[in-house]
Amino acid sequence: MEKQGSRALLAAVIGMGIVLAVGSLVLVGVLVHRISHPRATAPATIPAPAAVTAPVTTTMAVLPQDLGRLVLDEPAGTHVTSIARQADMALAVALTGGGADRVIIWDLAHNRIIGRLQVSP
């Protein structure tokens, strides 16, 4: 009786050792594959140059769809300083010049301004 229990325990230990060794090899293989084949990821924000020379005109056409033009009522001398996009849903445009610095939140799906943030001078 004692021999059967010992043999079963020995078989279980050997089996678990094999499972552990195979699992470790699979884990190392996945890590090596991921390191050698990195996935291209899109940045969360689109960096823009510190100073953009083109002034903001009264109309901007950024969307490739045929939704028309978005009209920005910004004073003369306004420049775009940076742009950040959020998952094809919203675009944050930082503006400077022509008054206090401000950020405009643009809804890309509906082609409209959904928010404005003005930084006090």
pLDDT in tens, 36-69: 988 766 555 544 444 444 444 444 444 445 556 6
For residues 107 and 113, is the Cβ–Cβ distance under 8 A? yes
How far is C-alpha 77 from the chain's CA centre?
31
Low-confidence ranges of the chain (pLDDT < 70): 1-2, 40-70, 121
Beta bridge partner(s), residue 106: 91, 113
What's the pLDDT score for residue 22? 98
Q: What is the pTM of this model?
A: 0.43
For residues 83 and 56, is the Cβ–Cβ distance under 8 A? no
**9/67 Cα distance (integer angstroms):** 72
Supply 43's token pair: 């940045």
Supply 6's token pair: 């010992």
With CA atoms as reference, report the closest residue to 95 among 106, 109, 108.
Answer: 106
